[in-house]
Amino acid sequence: MSAAGAGRGDDALIVGAGFAGLYMLHRLRQVGIRARVLEAGDGIGGVWFWNRYPGARCDIESTQYSYQFSPDLEQEWCWSERYASQAEILSYANHVADRFDLRRDIVLQTRIAQARFDERTQTWQLRSQDGRQFSARFIIMATGCLSVPTWPEIAGLSSFSGEVHHTGTWPREGVNFAGKRVAVIGTGSSAIQSIPVIAREARHLTVFQRTPAYSVPARNIKLPPSVLAGIKAIYRQLRARAKQMPTGVLFDSSTAKALETPPALREREYERRWRRGGLTFLSAYCDILTDRDANKTASDFVRAKIRSIVKDAAVAERLSPKTPIGAKRLCVDLGYYETFNRENVTLVDVSSAPIERITATGIIAQGTLHEVDIIVLATGFDAMTGALLRIDIEGRNGVTLRRRWHDGPRTYLGLAVHEFPNLFTITGPGSPSVLTNMLPSIEQHVEWIADCLAALRDSRIGSIEATAEAQNAWMAHVAEEASKTLRASENSWYVGANVPGKPRIFMPYAGGIPKYTQTCDEVAARGYEGFVLEPAATATGFLEEEPA
Ligand code: N01
């Protein structure tokens, strides 16, 4: 057995070294629980390690998309732009790993393939793809919500003789587009960020669009030192206020209703937000995501913007979404619509007839062969459940997670699963996660889990398992909250519509961070209500014995 495998006693194993796994390790150390992180990649950073495509950056402002657990870290780190690039976020993750001395407990190049709960020892037994074994009483899945790329099922893809790259697994050395004919398949966030950059480098870019997406300008800027200093001076207050927002982002959120606002005033407000840039556009009115007529006022505004930017009226029409704005994740761009005014960019609409096939030299759509040298798949992810289900997870009595989630994910609080004791998910399905700023959502989960494990240790509890009743009640509540938002009725990765055969269920919790956090805190305060706790069988109770 390799030195990186068994051979030390871990109380907990954390799968994934993205922002969730890094902070989980730090927090467990703080409460005196021995843990290690097992990471598939040869570096840390999770999605920010893998998504190196041109133009990749966060669409939440850098000063908000960052850890808040350490006021010192918050003061030391200087974000250079309003929206941080992938490279800057990755260097921040690496800085955090060094600053908190995390690397000595991170095992890289370790893709976990199997996790099995051993009833006899009440431990989880993990096996990596290359056969190494790990064992601990608890496992914490920090595997990410958007970390399993989906490759489209297009005939002939493997016969293409040029380069094919997925935005979610971009080569570390980059891709040289100079002088090349490039195809981008997909028009979601990843495509919308990469298309303007690729278009500037490539000889020709052909974009294959199945469904147009709404995008608002980012208005990214270099952060002036005075602005950053102003934020840092009141960082704690800003963070506290952000936690009161359903999304965990300190947006300029209005409580006014779009339909109760005079049209001229409403247009001015949309224009103000369009000029300001960013996702705050959707916070102009409180009914945009719940009322179709209200939503139409916002989507009409953006469609008019598209018509005003894109010079070719037919192209503008093809780029204009017909669905409610925000039902799919709103995109934020740096010159996306403007890119279609370039001579070297072609938009191919594959909404009525899918791409027919890919040949050695290009892509056939509507009977026309588009010859290209490089294909970029910006085709998205098997969201929320993909990373958990690709591991063969077996709980009590040989029950597998794949079997239990055959009709869609079922969790208690998005944190735990009935029949899978001592397993926790960070930002799992049924938690606010992807509808929010991921960083504060991750921190809330990590802190809850660490407090829970410390409490179990202190009271010599060996196992914790969500009850079926608590899980059923939580899933009913998740569905009830989902029914209030337009997001649940449209096709998107939120409901699994982008993966053929995936059961349709609105996976995240739409009730917002404050309500969710309060529920989690109450569950803990009531002695982990909705969980069954069982005393530890061994004398030491919680900690694994060091192997002889
Ligand atoms: O993926 P997507 P993404 N033929 O699923 C199309 C986060 N993110 O990687 O809509 C043709 O949104 C598909 O078409 P359709 C963010 O949360 C964040 O862009 O299914 N087209 C769609 O246009 C985001 O929402 C940042 O009809 C095909 C596209 O591919 C999430 O990640 C940056 C096809 C996939 O869009 C996912 O974004 C980037 C086919 N066979 C991403 N198959 C930040 O800024 C699929 N498509 C933080």
Ligand 1 centroid from CA 381, angstroms:
7
Ligand 1 centroid from CA 331, angstroms:
10
Q: Angle 235-243/225-233 helices, nearest 10 degrees? A: 70
Q: Mean pLDDT across the stretch 231-254?
A: 95
433: left (phi over 0), alpha (psi -120 to 50) or beta: left
% of the chain beyond a pLDDT of 70? 97
Ligand 1 centroid from CA 437, angstroms:
18
Q: Mean pLDDT across the stretch 232-240?
A: 97
Least Cα distance to 444 among 518, 507, 531 occurs for: 518
Give 331's contacts (C-beta < 8 A, 6+ positions apart). Answer: 59, 188, 189, 192, 193, 213, 214, 215, 216
Q: What is the pLDDT of residues 99-110, one digit of tens each?
A: 999 999 999 999
Instruction: Give the least confident one: 7-16, 225-234, 447-456, 472-481.
Output: 7-16
Report how far residue 22's alpha carbon sits from residue 142's, in angstroms, rounded to the nearest whole number: 9
What pLDDT is stored for residue 6 in this prediction?
A: 46
Q: What is the pLDDT of residues 15-72, one digit of tens each?
A: 999 999 999 999 999 999 999 999 999 999 999 999 999 999 999 999 999 999 999 9
Which tokens in the block code for residue 358?
């890919």
The count of C-alpha atoms lying within 13 angstroms of the C-alpha of 383, restricted to the half-sphere facing its C-beta, is 20
Ligand 1 centroid from CA 265, angstroms:
33
Ligand 1 centroid from CA 149, angstroms:
10
58 within ligand 1 shell (Cβ under 6 A): yes
Tell the residue nearest (CA) to atom 3 of ligand 1: 380
Asked if the model's pLDDT at residue 318 lies above 90, the reply is yes
Long-range pairs for 479-482 at CB < 8 Å and ≥24 separation?
A: 479/506, 481/509, 481/510, 481/511, 482/506, 482/510
Least Cα distance to 20 among 548, 454, 414 occurs for: 414
536 within ligand 1 shell (Cβ under 6 A): no
Query: Over the chain, what is the mean pLDDT?
Result: 95
Q: Which residue has the tokens 């060094």?
A: 98
183 within ligand 1 shell (Cβ under 6 A): no
Asked if 445 and 415 count as a contact pair (C-beta separation under 8 A), the reply is: yes
Asked if the model's pLDDT at residue 548 lies above 70, the reply is no
* Sign of the Cα pseudo-torsion (493, 380, 21, 97, in order): negative
The dihedral formed by the CA atoms of 213, 334, 295 and 498, expressed in degrees to the nearest 10: 30
Least Cα distance to 455 among 374, 391, 541, 384 occurs for: 541
% of the chain beyond a pLDDT of 90? 95
DSSP secondary structure letters along 103-156: GGGEE-S--EEEEEEETTTTEEEEEETTS-EEEEEEEEE---SS-SBPPP--TT
Asked if the model's pLDDT at residue 168 lies above 90, the reply is yes
Ligand 1 centroid from CA 207, angstroms:
13
Q: Mean pLDDT across the stretch 143-154?
A: 97
Q: What is the pLDDT of residues 364-384, one digit of tens each?
A: 999 999 999 999 999 999 999
What pLDDT is stored for residue 537 in this prediction?
A: 73
Interior/surface letters 50-65, b for 16+ CB within 10 angstroms, e for the rest: bbbbbbbbbbbbbbbb
Least Cα distance to 493 among 346, 412, 386, 342 occurs for: 386
* Sign of the Cα pseudo-torsion (148, 149, 152, 153, in order): negative
What pLDDT is stored for residue 8 in this prediction?
A: 63
Ligand 1 centroid from CA 279, angstroms:
17
Tell the residue nearest (CA) to atom 24 of ligand 1: 189
214 within ligand 1 shell (Cβ under 6 A): no
Q: What is the pLDDT of residues 258-281, one digit of tens each?
A: 999 999 999 999 999 999 999 999
Rg of the chain (C-alpha set):
24
What pLDDT is stored for residue 9 in this prediction?
A: 79
Q: What is the pLDDT of residues 468-511, one digit of tens each?
A: 999 999 999 999 999 999 999 999 999 999 999 999 999 999 99
Tell the residue nearest (CA) to atom 7 of ligand 1: 189
Report how far residue 402's alpha carbon sits from residue 390's, in angstroms, rounded to the nearest whole number: 9
Least Cα distance to 363 among 170, 152, 201 occurs for: 152
Which tokens in the block code for residue 94?
């690496």
Checking DSSP bridges between strand 362-365 and strand 368-371, what pairing results, if any? antiparallel
Q: Mean pLDDT across the stretch 437-464?
A: 97
Tell the residue nearest (CA) to atom 9 of ligand 1: 380
Burial of 108 (0-12, 13-18, 19+ CB in 10 A): middle
Q: Using a cut of 0.85, tell me whether the model's pTM lies above it.
A: yes
Which tokens in the block code for residue 395?
């709980």
115 within ligand 1 shell (Cβ under 6 A): no
Asked if the model's pLDDT at residue 353 lies above 50, the reply is yes
Report how far residue 5's alpha carbon sits from residue 40's, in angstroms, rounded to the nearest whole number: 14
Start-to-end C-alpha separation, the chain: 15
149 within ligand 1 shell (Cβ under 6 A): no
Ligand 1 centroid from CA 394, angstroms:
31
For ligand 1, pick from 498, 504, 507 the residue to mutate: most ligand atoms within 8 Å of CB: 498
